[in-house]
Amino acid sequence: MMKRMLLFLLISVSIPAFSQDVKSVDEITQTKLKPLVKQLYQSKTSEDQKKYNQELLKAFEEAIESDPKFTYAFDSLQKDIGILISPDKKFRIVHWNIPKSDGTHEYYGFIQSKFTTKKNKVESVQIFPLTDKSAEIKNPDNAITDNNKWFGALYNKIIVKKTKAKTYYTLLGWDGNDKFSQKKIIEVLTFDPNNGAPKFGADIFNYERKYPKRIIFEYSATCSMSLRFSSKKDSIVFGHLAPTSPQLEGQFQYYCSDMSFDGFGFKKGKWNYGTDINALNEKDENDKLYGDPKDKSEGHDQSNEYKDPNKKKKKKKKTE
């Protein structure tokens, strides 16, 4: 009888606490986050963008601090804010981009992660702000960075791969780059076992006899490129890029997908490169998630034919 009473007391105490947390996050979302997101993306000056973005950062940190179990989905913000939870529920990424007038993008956000100490196995939840330093990172293909020197991007997929020594989280993402080219990125995230700090980049790629810390594909701003994870093949599959003319090799603003597919398969602790992947019959119900974010805008041409971004469109003549 005593055990049953104790169990009832524990349940009656924990449920209101949980409900209160969710109510608190929902209140922050409705009264602060939603209005700030709207104000941010409707801003007409860089000063207003900066102001509302700083307020949004502060409000989001408050919101996720109130939700240490990652239970609140932020459904009403999903169109403008990227929110991903790792398949093993160990961390959550909350992030967004701000398009600039010169065609470049700035990225902001947080990683909220669970950290368990080795010695006494005490679990805590930590929050790490993400500071986009893409423009300052020299040789980004081979750089290992942290949350204070982040190669900013919008992620749409987290793939968990474990070895005996470490857990690797592979992130598939997109970067708007500038007016002439955009990028798809295969990033790797790990956490320091001593303090739980995030690290970006890892020596787990075997790519055409090169061993980069992350994979960056750059291609024309007027083309699209597929980058997705095939659960059927347990591989990362992506569209092969090629210059629109042999004379333009190395000028990535003129690269488009040639409709063939390459990929990476994970074996012996490495993502190993392979060519000519048969991905034509591998369509996934979530394939739309892997498109370029800018492709969702009305009127954006998603063909693989290169179009000069500087060339003005001809006005249609009015017919009487």
b/e burial code for range 114-148 (CB count within 10 A of at least 16 → b): bbeeeeeeeeebbbbebebebeebeebbebebebe
Overall pTM > 0.75: yes
Is residue 282 included in any domain, yes or no?
A: yes
Quick one: pLDDT at residue 121? 87
Is residue 168 included in any domain, yes or no?
A: yes
Is residue 85 included in any domain, yes or no?
A: no
Is residue 253 included in any domain, yes or no?
A: yes
Q: In the chain, how many domains are there?
A: 1
Is residue 7 included in any domain, yes or no?
A: no
Q: Tell me the pLDDT tens digit for each residue of 2-14.
A: 333 333 223 323 3
Is residue 223 included in any domain, yes or no?
A: yes
Is residue 267 included in any domain, yes or no?
A: yes
Q: Tell me the pLDDT tens digit for each residue of 88-100.
A: 999 999 999 999 9
Is residue 12 included in any domain, yes or no?
A: no
Q: Tell me the pLDDT tens digit for each residue of 56-76.
A: 999 999 999 999 999 999 999
State the residue range of the domain holding 191: 141-296
Dihedral through CA 12, CA 16, CA 21, CA 26, nearest 10? 140
**Spans of the chain, pLDDT less than 50:** 1-20, 283-291, 294-304, 306, 316-320
